[in-house]
Structure 1
Amino acid sequence: AQLFFISNGLSVGFASIQTLTDKSTGLKKGIKGDLTTLRPTIMTAVPLILDRIQNAIESTINKSRFARIFFAIFFSQKKFWSYYGLDTPLINLIFCRKFKAALGGRVKIIACGGAPLSPETHQFIRNCFDLKLLQGYGLTETSASATIMSLDDTSVGFVGQPLDGIQIKLIDWEEGNYKVTDKPNPRGEIVIGGHNVTNGYYKNETLTKESYKEENGVKWFLTGDIGEMFPNGSLKIIDRKKDIIKLSTGEYISLAKIEAELKKCPFIANVCVYGDSSKEYVIAFIIPNASHLKSLADKLSKSGLSFKELCNDSEITAGVLQSIRQIAKHSKLHKVEIPNKIKLCSEEWLPENNLVTSALKLRRKNIQDFYQKDIHLMYGNEHKP
C-alpha cells in the first residue's frame, strides 16, 4: 500500500500510538503530535486507536453539562442527515471543525482493518470528523486483500463487498452452529479464493494442508473467521473460531464478542477475556482508562494513590467490575459471558513486550503466560495451567 501511494506521487508519513495526537502520553508538554505535524488526507487505523480517540473526546465532553448538551444536539443532526447521504456544511463548520483539528485538519478518509470495529465507534468517528470511514477485511495469507466498503456506503458493522478478482464463499461450521442455510442470511466460515491467496506457510506443511485447499484450479484459504453474507453482497464478520471456547457448563462463548461489548465501559482502554474450559465462568484482564480511574479514585477518597496502587486496590477493582456488569447487562450478554473476576493491569500492552501485535491485536497466549499467577489466583487452587 505504501509503495502504491509513493508511486502515484503521494507523501507517506508514519505515526506511533504513543505520539499520535497532541495529547498522547509519549509526548512532552507543548510538543505536537504526529497527526498535527503530518496533516494527512488519508489515514489508516486499527479499531483500538479509534476507540481511544472516541474515549478521549467523550471524557472531555463529560466534564461540562453545556458541552454534553451541545454535542448531543449537533451529533444527532449530523447522524440523521449523513444517514441519507446529505452534506451538512453548517454543522461541519460549527461542530466538526473542532474535532478535525485533532487529526491535522485535512483527513477525508480513514481506512480501518485488523480487527472488528464496533458500529457505535464507526458512527461516532464518521460523524464527529465529517469523513469517510471505510472498513476492510483481509489477511496476510490473502495478500491483505478481500473486501472493502465503497465510498458511498453509509452502513456500519460491515466490511464491504469482495474486491475485483477475489472470490468469497461460506462453509458450514457445525460445532459453532453456523450454517450456509441459516435464515435470514447464510452464515459460516469465510473462505477466500483467487490469485491473491499465498502458497502456504513457510516450512509448515501440516498447517498449510489444514488451511489451504485447491478446487478446480482455484486456490482457497480457510480464514477461521465466521461471516454473514447479506443480499447486497456485503460481508459482516460475526465471530472467530479461535476465539470461541467451551466452558464446563457445555456452553460456547466468543471471547472477541465479549471484549467488543466490554470496551463500551468508560473504565476500559483495552481488555482480554480469558476462559478455562474446566470452569464455568470467564475472567478479564483490563488496561484501565487512566482519567476515568482517577475520577473513581476521587469519589472513593483515594486520590493520593499512584496508578499502580489504584490498579491493585480492591475497592477500585470492585467499582470497575460493577460498571462492567451494568454495561454487560445493557449489552444483553448472557450470565456466563460476564466476567466473574477482573484484574486491572498497570503495565502497558505493547508490541515491544509481545502482549499485542504491531497492529495492536491481542496475543492471547502471551497474555495468558504473562498473567499465569493471577489466573491461578482468580480461579482458585483448582486451576490447571
Structure 2
Amino acid sequence: MRNKISSPPYCKTLTAENTQPQMLILGTKTHSKADTCSVLLTEHDIMTFSECSRRVKARSVSGHPSGPYRDIGALRVLATCLQPGVNTLDLVFESSVCRFPHFDCLGTRDLLSEEDETSEDGRVFKKVILGEYRWMSYDQVYKEVRAFGSGLVALGQKPLKNIAIFCETRAEWIIAAQACFMYNFPYWFCAPGSHIFILLEVPRLQHIIIVDDKLKSGSEYPQGISVHSMVAVTRLGAHPENASRQRRPPCAADVAVIMYTSGSTGVPKGVMISHSNIIAGITGMAERIPSLGEDDTYIGYLPLAHVLELSAEMVCLAHGCRIGYSSPQTLTNQSTKIKKGSKGDISVLRPTLMAAVPEIMDRIYKNLMLKVEEMSVFQRTLFLLAYNYKMEQLAMGYSTPLCDKLVFQKVRALLGGRLRVLLSGGAPLSAVTQRFMNICFCCPVGQGYGLTETCGAGTISQLWDYSTGRVGAPLVCCEIQLKDWIEGGYRSTDRPCPRGEILVGGPNVTMGYYKNKQKNSEDFFMDEKGQRWFCTGDIGEFHGDGCLKIIDRKKDLVKLQAGEYVSLGKVEAVLKNCPLVDNICAYANSDESYVIGFVVPNQKQLLALAERKRVRGLWEELCNNPVIEEEVLRVITETALTAQLERFEIPWKIRLSVEPWTPENGLVTDAFKLKRKELKSHYQNDIERMYGAK
C-alpha cells in the first residue's frame, strides 16, 4: 500500500462548469399509561448533580456573556484534524487500514428467507429471517474501494466531476463514498427512490451503477445511458490495466460532499462540504467519546444521506471500529420486517455504540412504559422503586450495579446488552425520555447539536454529565456565539442565562450552499480573523458551566393575534410525552388567537381509550369520531398544564391522523423531522375547519 500521508496533495478548486453529475450510483433495500409515568420522579424532584456535572466545561473567551464560548480544552486554538498531516478523507481511511488491516470493518447480515404475512385486517407484509453478520476487514474494504474507484475512472469519471448517490444505508454506500474521496469525485447525497428526478434533470448523465447485482430492463432508463452493476465496475477497476493507473488525490480544500438539508422548513439546500470541514467535525466529535477504538461496534441504520449518520460512521472508521448495518425495519426483534420469533439486527450485533434520533427514542420509551403498565402490581412497584432509587443515586454521582443486574438487565438486553454510548441528535430530546434511557439501558445518553452546515458538529454533552435538556459544551473544533434577537425577546444580557441566536464558527463550518449566493450571504459570514461562521436560526442559552440549551427556533416562532409568541417546537416537545401521542405538529396562524394541532395517535392507547368510552368502529372511524377527538384533546391539555405550558400555547382543537407520518408519504424527513410546509398542505381543509373558515 502506498503511504500518502507525507506526499504533496494534488490541489484544484471546484468550478461552476464541472459541477453537474455525470454518473449515478443507485441502491435498493437489502431487507427491503400516563398514571404510571406520573409516579416516576421528575427532574424537578432532584436538585443536586454529581461533581462532574457541575464542572465548568466551556468559557467565553471574550469575557462577554454573548461569547464566543469554547471548550476549556480548546481555549487557545481550535482542533482541525485527528492526526498531523492527515488532512483529507482518503488519508484518514488509509491511516486506519495501516493500523487495523485485519480487523472487522463493515458487516452485513445474510438474508435467509423472505415470506408474506397477512394481518388481521387483510394487509400483506413482507417478513424476513436473517442470519449472522458477514464481515469485511479494513484491508478488504480498502481493496474494494480502490478497485471501485479505478472502475469509475475507467468509465470516464474525472476528478472534481460530481457523482450522485441514491442508496439506503449499507456497506456499499460507504465503499462508494470512500472511492469518491480517494479519487476526488465530489458526490451528492439524497434519499433513495428519487433517481428519476436526476434522470430527467441532468442531460449530461452517462452512467448508472446499480448497487445490487440485479440489473433490470434498460427500458426504464433514457436512451444513451449505460447501466452497470457495482460488481462489474469493481471488476473493471481491478483489471491490471486499470488498477495501475495513477490517481489524482484530493487536497483539504476540495469539495468532498454536496449534502442536501432535510427540507423541514422549505426547499432543501445543497451544502458544499470540504475534506477539511468533515475532518474537523469528526475530530471534535471523537474527543467526546472516551476510549473509542477497535473494540467498539457501531450499528448503522440511520440515513447516510444525513449528516448525523455520516459523521458517526466517519468517526468509527477513523478509529478502527467495526460497523454493522441495519435498517429501522429490521433493527429490533419487534421491528416491522422481522418475522416473529427471529432476531433483529441489534440482538445479533450487540453494539457498543449507537446513534438515534428523538423520534426513535421516544418510541422505545413509550413501548417500554406500556410494558410496565402490563406488569403485576408487585413487578410494577419494584420497577418504580428501582427507577427512582437509581435516579437519586445518579444525581449524587453513584452507580447502582446490583440494581442494574436485578431490575434493568432485561431492558438493557433489548439493545444488545453491551451498549456503552447512546448519542441522540437531529432534534431536541425530551428530559423524560433521556432520563429513562439513561436509567433503564444502563449507559450514558448524550445529546448533540449540529447542522449540515457545520458538518453535524457543534456540541455534544459529556458522557458523565447526567443533566437533561441540554446539548453540552462546544466541541474542540468550533466556538459558539449568541446574537441578540430583539424581536423574539432574546438578549445576551438576559439573566440568569445569556440568550440569543446561535452562531457557530470554526474549521467545521462549510463552504456554503451550492449555487445559492443569496442564502450564502444571509447565513454565512467571515469575521476579521478569517474564520467562517454560520447563523443557525436556532435560539440557545448558555448555563454557568458552559453548556448550551436549545430553547427556541426562529422559524418555529409564531406571533398570535393578541401579540403572544408561540414556539411550535416547544409545544410539540412537551406534548410528545403524552402517552396518547405518537407524533404531533402544532400549527398557528398569525391572524388567529389560538393554536391547533395534528396528532398521530398511539394505536394501543387510543384503542384502550375507545374501549373505556364504549366507542366502537374501525381505526379510521375512531380517528374521525368527535368523542374520541375531544377526549384526546382533554388528555393533551392535562399534559400541557402539568408541563406548565401557557394557556395560549395549548392547542384548542386537534385533528387525529389515520396514517402515521413517514418519509415515504413525505410528511417527515428521513430523520423524522416534521415537514411543516407539506403538513400544512396535507391538512389545509382541517386548518380551515378548525379556524372556522367557510
Common fold: TM-score over 0.5:
yes
Residue 654 of structure 2 aligns to a residue in which SS? strand
Cα separation, 2, equivalents of 1:28 and 1:306: 26
1:100 aligns with 2:385: no
Q: Which residue does 1:47 correspond to in 2?
A: 358
1:4 to 295, 315, 318: 315
Cα separation, 2, equivalents of 1:344 and 1:26: 26
1:202 to 486, 509, 514: 514
The alpha-carbon deviation at position 133 of structure 1 amounts to 0.6
The alpha-carbon deviation at position 8 of structure 1 amounts to 3.0
Contact kept? 1:211, 1:221, Cα under 8 Å: yes
The alpha-carbon deviation at position 225 of structure 1 amounts to 0.6
Deviations 1:246-272 (A, max 9, x none): 111111110001011111211001100
- Greater relative contact order (CA < 8 Å, ≥ 6 in sequence): 2
* Letter in structure 1 aligned against 2:605: H
Residue 232 of structure 1 aligns to a residue in which SS? coil
Deviations 1:78-121 (A, max 9, x none): 11111222221100101110101111111111011111111111
1:155 aligns with 2:155: no
Q: Which residue does 1:359 correspond to in 2?
A: 671
Q: Which residue does 2:286 correspond to in 1?
A: none
1:248 to 552, 557, 561: 561
Q: Which residue does 2:584 correspond to in 1?
A: 271
The alpha-carbon deviation at position 7 of structure 1 amounts to 4.2
Deviations 1:280-323 (A, max 9, x none): 111111111111011111112235x2222221111111111110
CA gap 1:21/1:199 in 2 versus in 1, 3 angstroms:
same
The alpha-carbon deviation at position 36 of structure 1 amounts to 1.6
Deviations 1:317-367 (A, max 9, x none): 111111011111111111111111111111121112221111111111111
CA gap 1:308/1:25 in 2 versus in 1, 3 angstroms:
farther
Deviations 1:2-51 (A, max 9, x none): 13313433221333334332223443322322322322111100111111
Rg (Cα) greater in structure: 2
CA gap 1:17/1:319 in 2 versus in 1, 3 angstroms:
farther
Q: Which residue does 1:178 correspond to in 2?
A: 490
Residue 103 of structure 1 aligns to a residue in which SS? coil
Length, aligned pairs only: 381
Cα separation, 2, equivalents of 1:354 and 1:60: 31
Cα separation, 2, equivalents of 1:165 and 1:331: 36
* Letter in structure 1 aligned against 2:547: S
Range with bigger deviation, 171-180 or 15-24:
15-24
1:237 aligns with 2:550: yes
* Letter in structure 2 aligned against 1:274: Y
Cα separation, 2, equivalents of 1:366 and 1:332: 30
1:315 to 621, 627, 632: 627
Q: Which residue does 1:350 correspond to in 2?
A: 662
Contact kept? 1:173, 1:188, Cα under 8 Å: yes
1:121 aligns with 2:121: no
Q: Which residue does 1:261 correspond to in 2?
A: 574
Cα separation, 1, equivalents of 2:639 and 2:339: 35
Cα separation, 2, equivalents of 1:282 and 1:298: 29
Q: 1:40-79 residue pairs with structure 2 within 5 A?
A: 40-64=351-375, 65-79=377-391
Residue 273 of structure 1 aligns to a residue in which SS? strand
Deviations 1:215-266 (A, max 9, x none): 1111111000101011221111111111000111111110001011111211
Residue 353 of structure 1 aligns to a residue in which SS? coil
Residue 414 of structure 2 aligns to a residue in which SS? helix
Cα separation, 1, equivalents of 2:649 and 2:509: 35
Contact kept? 1:191, 1:222, Cα under 8 Å: yes
Q: Which residue does 1:368 correspond to in 2?
A: 680
Cα separation, 2, equivalents of 1:16 and 1:282: 36
Long gaps (5+) in structure 2: 1-311
* TM-score normalised by length of structure 1: 0.95
Q: Which residue does 1:290 correspond to in 2?
A: 603
Q: Over aligned residues, Cα RMSD in angstroms? A: 1.4
The alpha-carbon deviation at position 66 of structure 1 amounts to 2.6
1:335 aligns with 2:647: yes
CA gap 1:7/1:219 in 2 versus in 1, 3 angstroms:
closer
1:29 aligns with 2:366: no
Q: Which residue does 1:223 correspond to in 2?
A: 536
1:213 to 507, 525, 529: 525
Contact kept? 1:17, 1:49, Cα under 8 Å: no
Q: Which residue does 1:17 correspond to in 2?
A: 328
1:110 to 422, 426, 440: 422
Q: Which residue does 2:400 correspond to in 1?
A: 88
Q: Which residue does 2:614 correspond to in 1?
A: 301
* Letter in structure 1 aligned against 2:404: N
Cα separation, 1, equivalents of 2:628 and 2:345: 34
CA gap 1:19/1:317 in 2 versus in 1, 3 angstroms:
farther
Range with bigger deviation, 121-130 or 309-318:
309-318
Residue 73 of structure 1 aligns to a residue in which SS? helix
CA gap 1:208/1:175 in 2 versus in 1, 3 angstroms:
same
Residue 352 of structure 1 aligns to a residue in which SS? coil
Q: Percent identity?
A: 47
* Letter in structure 1 aligned against 2:397: G
The alpha-carbon deviation at position 129 of structure 1 amounts to 0.8
Cα separation, 1, equivalents of 2:327 and 2:558: 33
Contact kept? 1:40, 1:104, Cα under 8 Å: yes
2:447 to 126, 135, 155: 135
* Letter in structure 2 aligned against 1:148: I
CA gap 1:27/1:312 in 2 versus in 1, 3 angstroms:
farther
Q: Which residue does 2:502 correspond to in 1?
A: 190
The alpha-carbon deviation at position 146 of structure 1 amounts to 0.9
Contact kept? 1:188, 1:226, Cα under 8 Å: yes
Cα separation, 2, equivalents of 1:90 and 1:46: 30
Range with bigger deviation, 318-327 or 308-317:
308-317
Range with bigger deviation, 142-151 or 168-177:
142-151
